[in-house]
Amino acid sequence: MDRIFVGGGGEGYGMPQHLLLKYGNRHGLIAGATGTGKTVTLQILAESFSKAGVPVFLSDVKGDLSGLAKSGDALGKLHEAFTSRAETIGFTDFGYDSFPVTFWDLYGEQGHPIRTTVSEMGPLLLSQLLQLTEAQEGVLNIAFRVSDEQGLPLLDLKDLQSLLVWVGENSDSLSLRYGNVSTASVGAIQRALLVLENQGGDRLFGEPALELSDIMRTDPDGRGRISILASDKLMASPKLYATFLLWLLSELFEELPEVGNPDKPKLVFFFDEAHLLFDDAPKALVDKVEQVARLIRSKGVGVYFVTQNPDDVPEDILGQLGNRVQHALRAFTARDQKALKLAAETYRMNPRFDIETAIKEVGTGEAVTSFLEAKGVPGMAEQTLIRPPSSQLGPITAGEREEIVKTSPIAGKYEAVVDRESAFELLKARAAAAAQEAEAAEATQAEASGNVRGRDELEREFSKARRYDGQSYERASTKTGTRSTSSRKSTDKSFGEEMTKMVMKELTGTTGRRIVRGILGGLFKAR
Protein backbone atom coordinates (compact mmCIF):
# COMPACT_ATOMS: atom_id res chain seq x y z
CA MET A 1 0.00 0.00 0.00
CA ASP A 2 1.61 3.23 -1.13
CA ARG A 3 -1.38 5.56 -1.25
CA ILE A 4 -4.54 6.53 0.60
CA PHE A 5 -7.85 6.66 -1.24
CA VAL A 6 -9.61 9.88 -0.20
CA GLY A 7 -12.53 10.05 -2.63
CA GLY A 8 -13.64 10.46 -6.20
CA GLY A 9 -13.20 13.58 -8.32
CA GLY A 10 -13.68 14.68 -11.88
CA GLU A 11 -16.78 14.18 -13.99
CA GLY A 12 -19.25 12.01 -12.15
CA TYR A 13 -16.76 11.62 -9.26
CA GLY A 14 -15.22 8.62 -10.92
CA MET A 15 -11.57 9.81 -10.85
CA PRO A 16 -9.81 8.42 -7.75
CA GLN A 17 -8.11 11.01 -5.55
CA HIS A 18 -5.14 9.67 -3.59
CA LEU A 19 -2.77 10.98 -0.97
CA LEU A 20 0.63 9.40 -1.62
CA LEU A 21 2.09 7.93 1.57
CA LYS A 22 5.62 9.05 0.73
CA TYR A 23 4.34 12.64 0.80
CA GLY A 24 2.23 12.13 3.91
CA ASN A 25 4.89 13.94 5.96
CA ARG A 26 4.61 17.05 3.76
CA HIS A 27 1.81 18.26 6.02
CA GLY A 28 -1.73 19.23 5.14
CA LEU A 29 -4.78 21.40 5.70
CA ILE A 30 -8.39 20.44 6.29
CA ALA A 31 -10.57 23.56 6.26
CA GLY A 32 -14.22 24.46 5.98
CA ALA A 33 -17.17 25.95 7.76
CA THR A 34 -18.96 24.22 10.63
CA GLY A 35 -21.05 21.25 9.50
CA THR A 36 -19.36 20.75 6.12
CA GLY A 37 -17.66 17.43 6.90
CA LYS A 38 -14.20 18.29 8.29
CA THR A 39 -14.51 15.75 11.11
CA VAL A 40 -15.40 12.91 8.77
CA THR A 41 -12.46 13.77 6.53
CA LEU A 42 -10.17 13.69 9.55
CA GLN A 43 -11.70 10.32 10.52
CA ILE A 44 -11.19 8.66 7.14
CA LEU A 45 -7.61 9.92 6.92
CA ALA A 46 -6.86 8.56 10.42
CA GLU A 47 -8.34 5.19 9.40
CA SER A 48 -6.27 5.05 6.24
CA PHE A 49 -2.99 6.01 7.89
CA SER A 50 -3.61 3.41 10.61
CA LYS A 51 -4.32 0.71 8.01
CA ALA A 52 -1.04 1.63 6.31
CA GLY A 53 0.86 1.06 9.58
CA VAL A 54 1.26 4.75 10.47
CA PRO A 55 0.54 5.80 14.10
CA VAL A 56 -1.79 8.78 14.44
CA PHE A 57 -2.27 11.41 17.15
CA LEU A 58 -5.39 13.57 17.04
CA SER A 59 -7.47 15.73 19.35
CA ASP A 60 -11.17 15.00 19.74
CA VAL A 61 -12.82 18.35 20.33
CA LYS A 62 -16.45 17.23 20.07
CA GLY A 63 -16.14 13.62 21.23
CA ASP A 64 -17.19 12.21 17.84
CA LEU A 65 -13.83 10.66 16.94
CA SER A 66 -14.04 8.02 19.67
CA GLY A 67 -16.11 6.11 17.10
CA LEU A 68 -12.81 5.08 15.45
CA ALA A 69 -12.58 2.35 18.10
CA LYS A 70 -15.80 0.70 16.94
CA SER A 71 -16.82 -0.79 13.62
CA GLY A 72 -19.57 0.82 11.58
CA ASP A 73 -22.90 -0.99 11.44
CA ALA A 74 -24.51 -2.44 8.33
CA LEU A 75 -27.85 -1.96 10.12
CA GLY A 76 -27.18 1.72 10.80
CA LYS A 77 -29.35 4.42 9.28
CA LEU A 78 -26.48 5.71 7.10
CA HIS A 79 -25.55 2.32 5.64
CA GLU A 80 -27.48 2.82 2.41
CA ALA A 81 -26.06 6.32 1.87
CA PHE A 82 -22.54 5.05 2.53
CA THR A 83 -22.78 2.12 0.12
CA SER A 84 -24.29 4.35 -2.56
CA ARG A 85 -21.46 6.85 -2.22
CA ALA A 86 -18.84 4.08 -2.26
CA GLU A 87 -20.32 2.80 -5.51
CA THR A 88 -20.39 6.31 -7.04
CA ILE A 89 -16.70 6.97 -6.36
CA GLY A 90 -15.51 3.45 -7.19
CA PHE A 91 -14.60 2.53 -3.62
CA THR A 92 -14.81 -1.22 -4.14
CA ASP A 93 -12.96 -2.09 -0.92
CA PHE A 94 -15.48 -0.36 1.31
CA GLY A 95 -16.37 -2.28 4.46
CA TYR A 96 -16.85 -1.69 8.16
CA ASP A 97 -13.98 -2.06 10.59
CA SER A 98 -12.71 -0.86 13.98
CA PHE A 99 -9.22 0.48 14.64
CA PRO A 100 -6.72 0.19 17.51
CA VAL A 101 -7.23 3.25 19.70
CA THR A 102 -5.53 4.64 22.80
CA PHE A 103 -7.54 7.22 24.71
CA TRP A 104 -5.74 10.07 26.50
CA ASP A 105 -7.09 12.79 28.75
CA LEU A 106 -5.16 15.56 30.46
CA TYR A 107 -7.66 15.36 33.33
CA GLY A 108 -7.46 11.57 33.53
CA GLU A 109 -11.24 11.15 33.22
CA GLN A 110 -11.81 9.86 29.69
CA GLY A 111 -8.47 8.20 29.09
CA HIS A 112 -4.95 7.68 30.37
CA PRO A 113 -3.50 10.77 32.08
CA ILE A 114 -1.06 12.62 29.89
CA ARG A 115 1.62 14.78 31.52
CA THR A 116 4.83 16.62 30.95
CA THR A 117 7.20 18.36 33.35
CA VAL A 118 7.60 22.09 33.80
CA SER A 119 11.22 21.92 32.65
CA GLU A 120 10.25 20.05 29.47
CA MET A 121 7.58 22.65 28.70
CA GLY A 122 10.22 25.40 28.92
CA PRO A 123 9.89 29.14 29.60
CA LEU A 124 8.77 30.17 26.09
CA LEU A 125 5.71 27.92 25.92
CA LEU A 126 4.93 28.41 29.60
CA SER A 127 5.00 32.19 29.13
CA GLN A 128 2.55 31.81 26.25
CA LEU A 129 0.33 29.60 28.37
CA LEU A 130 0.35 32.07 31.27
CA GLN A 131 0.08 35.09 28.94
CA LEU A 132 3.02 36.85 30.58
CA THR A 133 4.44 40.22 29.64
CA GLU A 134 7.98 40.55 28.31
CA ALA A 135 9.30 41.56 31.74
CA GLN A 136 7.54 38.64 33.44
CA GLU A 137 8.83 36.24 30.81
CA GLY A 138 12.35 37.49 31.57
CA VAL A 139 11.91 36.68 35.28
CA LEU A 140 10.59 33.22 34.36
CA ASN A 141 13.69 32.63 32.23
CA ILE A 142 15.86 33.59 35.21
CA ALA A 143 13.98 31.06 37.36
CA PHE A 144 14.69 28.33 34.82
CA ARG A 145 18.38 29.31 34.73
CA VAL A 146 18.57 29.15 38.54
CA SER A 147 16.90 25.74 38.40
CA ASP A 148 19.58 24.44 36.03
CA GLU A 149 22.55 25.96 37.85
CA GLN A 150 21.51 24.94 41.36
CA GLY A 151 20.22 21.45 40.53
CA LEU A 152 16.58 22.18 41.37
CA PRO A 153 14.44 20.04 39.01
CA LEU A 154 11.14 21.62 37.94
CA LEU A 155 8.65 18.78 37.61
CA ASP A 156 5.27 20.11 38.72
CA LEU A 157 3.65 23.45 39.53
CA LYS A 158 4.58 23.43 43.22
CA ASP A 159 8.24 23.15 42.18
CA LEU A 160 7.96 26.29 40.08
CA GLN A 161 5.92 28.12 42.73
CA SER A 162 8.46 27.38 45.47
CA LEU A 163 11.37 28.35 43.23
CA LEU A 164 9.69 31.67 42.42
CA VAL A 165 9.36 32.33 46.17
CA TRP A 166 13.10 31.75 46.51
CA VAL A 167 13.79 34.01 43.50
CA GLY A 168 11.69 36.76 45.09
CA GLU A 169 13.50 36.45 48.42
CA ASN A 170 16.89 36.66 46.68
CA SER A 171 15.92 39.22 44.05
CA ASP A 172 18.70 41.67 44.98
CA SER A 173 21.56 39.22 44.45
CA LEU A 174 19.93 37.71 41.33
CA SER A 175 19.38 41.14 39.78
CA LEU A 176 23.09 41.86 39.96
CA ARG A 177 23.84 38.76 37.92
CA TYR A 178 20.90 38.27 35.54
CA GLY A 179 19.19 41.64 35.34
CA ASN A 180 16.23 43.16 37.12
CA VAL A 181 14.10 40.73 39.12
CA SER A 182 11.13 42.64 40.50
CA THR A 183 8.93 41.16 43.18
CA ALA A 184 5.95 42.58 41.27
CA SER A 185 6.78 40.35 38.28
CA VAL A 186 7.26 37.35 40.56
CA GLY A 187 3.86 38.04 42.11
CA ALA A 188 2.20 38.35 38.69
CA ILE A 189 3.62 34.97 37.62
CA GLN A 190 2.41 33.39 40.86
CA ARG A 191 -1.11 34.75 40.25
CA ALA A 192 -1.09 33.35 36.70
CA LEU A 193 0.02 29.97 38.04
CA LEU A 194 -2.82 30.07 40.56
CA VAL A 195 -5.35 30.70 37.78
CA LEU A 196 -3.87 27.82 35.78
CA GLU A 197 -4.07 25.57 38.84
CA ASN A 198 -7.72 26.51 39.43
CA GLN A 199 -8.49 25.59 35.81
CA GLY A 200 -7.01 22.13 36.36
CA GLY A 201 -3.85 22.89 34.41
CA ASP A 202 -1.72 21.59 37.28
CA ARG A 203 -2.65 18.07 36.12
CA LEU A 204 -0.62 18.62 32.97
CA PHE A 205 2.61 18.87 34.97
CA GLY A 206 4.20 16.01 36.85
CA GLU A 207 5.45 12.48 36.52
CA PRO A 208 5.36 9.96 35.01
CA ALA A 209 5.70 12.16 31.94
CA LEU A 210 4.56 11.01 28.51
CA GLU A 211 6.97 8.78 26.62
CA LEU A 212 6.77 9.57 22.91
CA SER A 213 7.08 5.89 22.07
CA ASP A 214 3.61 5.36 23.57
CA ILE A 215 1.98 7.51 20.88
CA MET A 216 4.03 5.88 18.11
CA ARG A 217 2.94 2.28 18.62
CA THR A 218 1.87 -0.23 16.02
CA ASP A 219 -0.27 -3.28 16.77
CA PRO A 220 0.87 -6.88 16.13
CA ASP A 221 -1.29 -6.91 12.98
CA GLY A 222 0.79 -4.03 11.61
CA ARG A 223 -1.78 -1.27 11.98
CA GLY A 224 -0.76 2.00 13.56
CA ARG A 225 -2.44 2.87 16.85
CA ILE A 226 -4.60 5.98 16.87
CA SER A 227 -4.05 8.13 19.98
CA ILE A 228 -7.11 10.25 20.72
CA LEU A 229 -6.81 13.17 23.15
CA ALA A 230 -10.15 13.99 24.79
CA SER A 231 -10.40 17.74 24.26
CA ASP A 232 -14.06 18.59 24.86
CA LYS A 233 -13.35 19.74 28.45
CA LEU A 234 -9.87 20.96 27.60
CA MET A 235 -11.32 23.43 25.11
CA ALA A 236 -12.62 25.46 28.05
CA SER A 237 -8.95 26.47 28.48
CA PRO A 238 -7.94 27.14 24.86
CA LYS A 239 -4.46 28.39 25.75
CA LEU A 240 -3.77 25.18 27.66
CA TYR A 241 -5.04 23.11 24.74
CA ALA A 242 -2.94 24.90 22.13
CA THR A 243 0.19 25.07 24.29
CA PHE A 244 0.08 21.37 25.11
CA LEU A 245 -0.22 20.33 21.46
CA LEU A 246 2.56 22.70 20.46
CA TRP A 247 4.73 21.25 23.24
CA LEU A 248 4.06 17.77 21.86
CA LEU A 249 5.12 18.87 18.39
CA SER A 250 8.27 20.44 19.80
CA GLU A 251 9.12 17.25 21.71
CA LEU A 252 8.70 15.18 18.56
CA PHE A 253 10.94 17.59 16.70
CA GLU A 254 13.66 17.51 19.37
CA GLU A 255 13.59 13.79 20.21
CA LEU A 256 13.07 11.99 16.91
CA PRO A 257 16.04 11.19 14.64
CA GLU A 258 16.37 12.40 11.08
CA VAL A 259 14.93 9.91 8.57
CA GLY A 260 15.14 11.86 5.31
CA ASN A 261 12.36 10.88 2.89
CA PRO A 262 10.69 7.73 4.26
CA ASP A 263 8.25 5.61 2.26
CA LYS A 264 5.57 6.55 4.76
CA PRO A 265 5.38 8.84 7.80
CA LYS A 266 6.54 7.71 11.24
CA LEU A 267 3.62 9.60 12.78
CA VAL A 268 0.78 11.80 11.58
CA PHE A 269 -0.42 14.57 13.88
CA PHE A 270 -3.83 16.24 13.44
CA PHE A 271 -4.20 19.65 15.11
CA ASP A 272 -7.94 20.40 15.36
CA GLU A 273 -9.12 23.98 16.02
CA ALA A 274 -5.71 25.12 14.81
CA HIS A 275 -6.67 28.79 14.97
CA LEU A 276 -6.29 28.59 18.75
CA LEU A 277 -2.58 28.10 18.27
CA PHE A 278 -2.14 31.41 16.48
CA ASP A 279 -4.73 33.68 18.13
CA ASP A 280 -2.85 36.52 19.85
CA ALA A 281 0.35 34.49 19.65
CA PRO A 282 3.59 36.51 19.89
CA LYS A 283 5.90 36.53 16.89
CA ALA A 284 8.46 34.37 18.71
CA LEU A 285 5.88 31.61 19.11
CA VAL A 286 4.70 31.81 15.50
CA ASP A 287 8.31 31.65 14.36
CA LYS A 288 8.79 28.52 16.47
CA VAL A 289 5.73 26.85 14.93
CA GLU A 290 7.00 27.73 11.46
CA GLN A 291 10.41 26.27 12.29
CA VAL A 292 8.88 23.06 13.61
CA ALA A 293 6.56 22.72 10.61
CA ARG A 294 9.43 23.28 8.19
CA LEU A 295 11.88 20.86 9.79
CA ILE A 296 9.79 18.17 11.45
CA ARG A 297 8.94 16.50 8.15
CA SER A 298 12.57 15.34 7.97
CA LYS A 299 11.81 13.44 11.20
CA GLY A 300 9.04 11.60 9.39
CA VAL A 301 6.16 13.47 11.08
CA GLY A 302 3.26 14.88 9.09
CA VAL A 303 1.23 17.72 10.64
CA TYR A 304 -2.34 18.38 9.47
CA PHE A 305 -4.04 21.58 10.61
CA VAL A 306 -7.84 21.44 10.91
CA THR A 307 -9.64 24.80 11.01
CA GLN A 308 -12.48 26.80 9.50
CA ASN A 309 -10.66 29.38 7.39
CA PRO A 310 -7.29 28.92 5.67
CA ASP A 311 -6.28 32.39 6.84
CA ASP A 312 -6.38 31.10 10.43
CA VAL A 313 -2.94 29.71 9.61
CA PRO A 314 -0.11 32.24 9.02
CA GLU A 315 0.91 32.53 5.38
CA ASP A 316 4.47 31.27 5.91
CA ILE A 317 3.11 28.08 7.48
CA LEU A 318 0.23 27.75 5.02
CA GLY A 319 2.75 27.64 2.17
CA GLN A 320 4.26 24.45 3.63
CA LEU A 321 0.99 22.49 3.65
CA GLY A 322 1.15 20.35 0.51
CA ASN A 323 -1.97 18.18 0.90
CA ARG A 324 -5.25 20.10 1.07
CA VAL A 325 -8.91 19.34 1.59
CA GLN A 326 -11.06 22.47 1.41
CA HIS A 327 -14.68 22.02 2.41
CA ALA A 328 -17.30 24.70 1.83
CA LEU A 329 -16.71 28.27 2.96
CA ARG A 330 -19.61 30.65 3.48
CA ALA A 331 -18.66 34.15 2.30
CA PHE A 332 -21.06 36.19 4.42
CA THR A 333 -18.61 38.85 5.61
CA ALA A 334 -15.68 40.77 4.13
CA ARG A 335 -13.30 38.53 6.08
CA ASP A 336 -15.02 35.42 4.70
CA GLN A 337 -14.72 36.75 1.13
CA LYS A 338 -11.04 37.46 1.65
CA ALA A 339 -10.50 33.98 3.12
CA LEU A 340 -12.36 32.44 0.18
CA LYS A 341 -10.24 34.29 -2.35
CA LEU A 342 -7.05 33.29 -0.49
CA ALA A 343 -8.14 29.64 -0.40
CA ALA A 344 -8.83 29.60 -4.13
CA GLU A 345 -5.48 31.19 -4.96
CA THR A 346 -3.50 28.52 -3.12
CA TYR A 347 -4.69 25.74 -5.46
CA ARG A 348 -3.32 24.66 -8.81
CA MET A 349 -5.92 25.83 -11.30
CA ASN A 350 -8.24 23.38 -13.06
CA PRO A 351 -9.65 24.60 -16.40
CA ARG A 352 -12.86 22.57 -15.92
CA PHE A 353 -14.26 24.71 -13.10
CA ASP A 354 -13.80 27.92 -11.15
CA ILE A 355 -12.21 27.03 -7.81
CA GLU A 356 -13.62 30.00 -5.89
CA THR A 357 -17.15 29.18 -7.00
CA ALA A 358 -16.66 25.48 -6.23
CA ILE A 359 -15.50 26.21 -2.67
CA LYS A 360 -18.70 28.17 -2.07
CA GLU A 361 -21.00 25.55 -3.57
CA VAL A 362 -19.64 22.12 -2.58
CA GLY A 363 -22.06 20.16 -0.40
CA THR A 364 -21.58 18.35 2.89
CA GLY A 365 -19.04 15.55 2.55
CA GLU A 366 -17.65 17.16 -0.58
CA ALA A 367 -14.49 19.26 -0.94
CA VAL A 368 -11.99 20.82 -3.29
CA THR A 369 -8.85 18.72 -2.91
CA SER A 370 -5.24 18.88 -4.01
CA PHE A 371 -2.58 16.30 -3.12
CA LEU A 372 1.11 16.22 -3.93
CA GLU A 373 2.00 14.19 -6.99
CA ALA A 374 5.30 12.83 -8.35
CA LYS A 375 8.35 14.85 -7.32
CA GLY A 376 6.21 16.71 -4.78
CA VAL A 377 4.36 18.80 -7.36
CA PRO A 378 0.92 20.05 -6.17
CA GLY A 379 -1.87 18.17 -7.89
CA MET A 380 -4.54 19.93 -9.88
CA ALA A 381 -7.57 20.98 -7.85
CA GLU A 382 -10.49 18.57 -8.02
CA GLN A 383 -14.04 18.73 -6.76
CA THR A 384 -14.05 15.53 -4.70
CA LEU A 385 -16.71 13.41 -3.01
CA ILE A 386 -15.10 12.13 0.22
CA ARG A 387 -15.30 8.38 0.86
CA PRO A 388 -17.46 7.08 3.74
CA PRO A 389 -15.82 5.99 7.01
CA SER A 390 -15.38 2.32 7.95
CA SER A 391 -15.63 2.97 11.70
CA GLN A 392 -18.64 4.21 13.61
CA LEU A 393 -19.78 7.73 12.77
CA GLY A 394 -20.27 9.36 16.16
CA PRO A 395 -19.09 8.70 19.71
CA ILE A 396 -18.97 5.39 21.57
CA THR A 397 -20.54 4.98 25.02
CA ALA A 398 -18.77 5.77 28.28
CA GLY A 399 -18.75 2.07 29.17
CA GLU A 400 -17.14 1.11 25.87
CA ARG A 401 -14.50 3.77 26.33
CA GLU A 402 -13.76 2.60 29.87
CA GLU A 403 -13.29 -1.01 28.70
CA ILE A 404 -10.85 0.10 25.98
CA VAL A 405 -8.83 2.09 28.53
CA LYS A 406 -8.65 -0.91 30.88
CA THR A 407 -7.38 -3.25 28.15
CA SER A 408 -4.93 -0.76 26.64
CA PRO A 409 -1.27 -1.85 26.23
CA ILE A 410 -0.27 1.01 28.57
CA ALA A 411 -2.97 0.46 31.20
CA GLY A 412 -1.65 1.36 34.65
CA LYS A 413 1.51 3.05 33.41
CA TYR A 414 0.44 6.68 33.87
CA GLU A 415 -2.45 6.49 36.32
CA ALA A 416 -0.48 6.81 39.58
CA VAL A 417 1.33 10.12 40.13
CA VAL A 418 5.01 9.87 41.13
CA ASP A 419 6.27 12.75 43.28
CA ARG A 420 10.04 12.34 43.49
CA GLU A 421 12.46 14.78 45.07
CA SER A 422 12.58 18.01 43.10
CA ALA A 423 12.77 21.78 43.63
CA PHE A 424 9.92 21.92 46.16
CA GLU A 425 11.42 19.25 48.42
CA LEU A 426 15.00 20.51 48.03
CA LEU A 427 14.09 24.12 48.85
CA LYS A 428 11.97 22.95 51.77
CA ALA A 429 14.95 20.98 53.12
CA ARG A 430 17.20 24.02 52.67
CA ALA A 431 14.74 26.18 54.60
CA ALA A 432 14.48 23.61 57.40
CA ALA A 433 18.29 23.38 57.68
CA ALA A 434 18.60 27.16 57.75
CA ALA A 435 15.94 27.36 60.48
CA GLN A 436 17.80 24.78 62.59
CA GLU A 437 21.05 26.69 62.19
CA ALA A 438 19.35 29.92 63.19
CA GLU A 439 17.77 28.22 66.23
CA ALA A 440 21.10 26.76 67.27
CA ALA A 441 22.83 30.13 66.92
CA GLU A 442 20.08 31.80 68.94
CA ALA A 443 20.39 29.16 71.67
CA THR A 444 24.17 29.62 71.80
CA GLN A 445 23.77 33.36 72.03
CA ALA A 446 21.16 33.02 74.78
CA GLU A 447 23.42 30.63 76.75
CA ALA A 448 26.36 32.99 76.48
CA SER A 449 24.18 35.86 77.63
CA GLY A 450 22.92 33.77 80.59
CA ASN A 451 26.45 32.79 81.58
CA VAL A 452 27.52 36.41 81.72
CA ARG A 453 24.53 37.29 83.87
CA GLY A 454 25.21 34.34 86.20
CA ARG A 455 28.85 35.28 86.69
CA ASP A 456 27.92 38.89 87.44
CA GLU A 457 25.38 37.79 90.04
CA LEU A 458 27.90 35.47 91.74
CA GLU A 459 30.57 38.14 91.88
CA ARG A 460 28.07 40.53 93.49
CA GLU A 461 27.29 37.91 96.14
CA PHE A 462 31.03 37.46 96.87
CA SER A 463 31.41 41.21 97.23
CA LYS A 464 28.50 41.39 99.64
CA ALA A 465 29.91 38.56 101.74
CA ARG A 466 33.34 40.16 101.89
CA ARG A 467 31.89 43.47 102.94
CA TYR A 468 29.83 41.75 105.61
CA ASP A 469 32.89 39.77 106.85
CA GLY A 470 34.96 42.91 107.05
CA GLN A 471 32.32 44.74 109.05
CA SER A 472 32.01 41.82 111.55
CA TYR A 473 35.74 41.66 111.99
CA GLU A 474 36.04 45.39 112.63
CA ARG A 475 33.23 45.31 115.24
CA ALA A 476 34.79 42.36 117.03
CA SER A 477 38.25 44.03 117.11
CA THR A 478 36.82 47.20 118.56
CA LYS A 479 35.23 45.36 121.51
CA THR A 480 38.10 43.00 122.50
CA GLY A 481 41.52 43.28 121.04
CA THR A 482 42.70 39.95 122.59
CA ARG A 483 39.95 37.93 120.98
CA SER A 484 40.46 39.35 117.50
CA THR A 485 42.26 36.29 116.16
CA SER A 486 39.69 33.79 117.35
CA SER A 487 36.87 36.04 116.18
CA ARG A 488 38.42 36.24 112.72
CA LYS A 489 38.75 32.47 112.58
CA SER A 490 35.12 32.11 113.63
CA THR A 491 34.05 34.67 111.04
CA ASP A 492 36.10 32.93 108.33
CA LYS A 493 34.40 29.66 109.20
CA SER A 494 30.99 31.35 109.18
CA PHE A 495 31.79 32.90 105.82
CA GLY A 496 32.86 29.54 104.39
CA GLU A 497 29.70 27.83 105.63
CA GLU A 498 27.51 30.58 104.23
CA MET A 499 29.28 30.44 100.89
CA THR A 500 28.90 26.65 100.75
CA LYS A 501 25.20 26.92 101.46
CA MET A 502 24.77 29.66 98.88
CA VAL A 503 26.68 27.78 96.19
CA MET A 504 24.78 24.52 96.86
CA LYS A 505 21.51 26.40 96.65
CA GLU A 506 22.55 27.94 93.37
CA LEU A 507 23.70 24.58 92.02
CA THR A 508 20.23 23.10 92.52
CA GLY A 509 18.68 25.74 90.26
CA THR A 510 18.87 26.64 86.56
CA THR A 511 21.46 29.31 87.20
CA GLY A 512 23.57 26.74 89.01
CA ARG A 513 23.52 24.35 86.13
CA ARG A 514 24.74 27.10 83.83
CA ILE A 515 27.52 27.91 86.39
CA VAL A 516 28.64 24.28 86.47
CA ARG A 517 28.89 24.26 82.65
CA GLY A 518 31.28 27.17 82.52
CA ILE A 519 31.25 30.00 85.00
CA LEU A 520 32.93 28.49 88.06
CA GLY A 521 35.62 26.92 85.97
CA GLY A 522 36.50 30.33 84.65
CA LEU A 523 36.47 31.92 88.11
CA PHE A 524 38.59 29.25 89.74
CA LYS A 525 41.04 29.37 86.93
CA ALA A 526 41.27 33.10 87.33
CA ARG A 527 41.96 32.72 91.05
- Tell me the per-residue pLDDT of 321-369, one tens digit each, with 9 for 90 and over: 999 999 998 777 877 788 788 888 889 999 999 999 999 999 989 999 9
Helical spans, DSSP H, in 23-117? 38-51, 79-89
Q: Which 8-state DSSP code applies to residue 216?
A: S
Q: Please tell me the distance from the alpha carbon of residue 450 to that of residue 471, in angstroms, as a whole number.
A: 32
- Tell me the per-residue pLDDT of 175-229, one tens digit each, with 9 for 90 and over: 999 999 999 999 999 999 999 998 888 899 999 999 999 999 999 999 999 999 9
Q: Is the predicted pLDDT of residue 481 greater than 70, yes or no? A: no
Helix-, strand-, coil-residue percentages of the chain, each rounded to 5: 55, 15, 30
Q: Please tell me the distance from the alpha carbon of residue 276 to that of residue 386, in angstroms, as a whole number.
A: 26
> What is the model's pLDDT at position 285?
78
Q: Is the predicted pLDDT of residue 17 greater than 80, yes or no? A: yes
> What is the model's pLDDT at position 351?
93
Q: Which 8-state DSSP code applies to residue 519?
A: I
Proportion of the chain above pLDDT 90, given as a percent: 63
Class of the CATH-defined domain 3-115+212-396: alpha beta
> What is the model's pLDDT at position 438?
84
CA distances from 401 to 49, 100, 116, 269, 392 (A): 22, 12, 24, 22, 13
The angle, 0 to 180 degrees and rounded to 10, between the axes of the packed helices 157-169 and 183-198 is: 160
Q: Please tell me the distance from the alpha carbon of residue 369 to that of residue 317, in angstroms, as a whole number.
A: 18
Cβ count near 298 (within 10 Å)? 16
CA distances from 244 to 108, 231, 299 (A): 15, 11, 20
Which residue ranges make up each domain of the chain?
3-115+212-396, 118-202
Q: Is the predicted pLDDT of residue 277 greater than 50, yes or no? A: yes
Among the residue ranges 76-80, 385-389, 465-469, 523-527, the one predicted with the least confidence is 523-527
Three-state DSSP class for residue 498: helix
* 122 and 132 Cβ atoms separated by less than 8 Å: no
- Tell me the per-residue pLDDT of 407-452, one tens digit each, with 9 for 90 and over: 999 999 999 999 999 999 999 999 899 888 888 888 888 777 766 5
Q: Is the predicted pLDDT of residue 470 greater than 70, yes or no? A: no
For the segment 134-155, the average pLDDT, to the nearest whole number, is 95
Q: What confidence category does residue 485 fall into, taking pLDDT thresholds of 50, 70 and 90? A: very low
Nearest partner of 117 among 156, 78, 145, judged by Cα: 156
Q: Which 8-state DSSP code applies to residue 274?
A: T
Q: Please tell me the distance from the alpha carbon of residue 171 to that of residue 148, in angstroms, as a whole number.
A: 17
- Tell me the per-residue pLDDT of 31-41, one tens digit each, with 9 for 90 and over: 998 889 999 99
Q: Please tell me the distance from the alpha carbon of residue 250 to that of residue 300, in angstroms, as a whole number.
A: 14
Q: Is the pLDDT higher at 482 or at 20?
A: 20
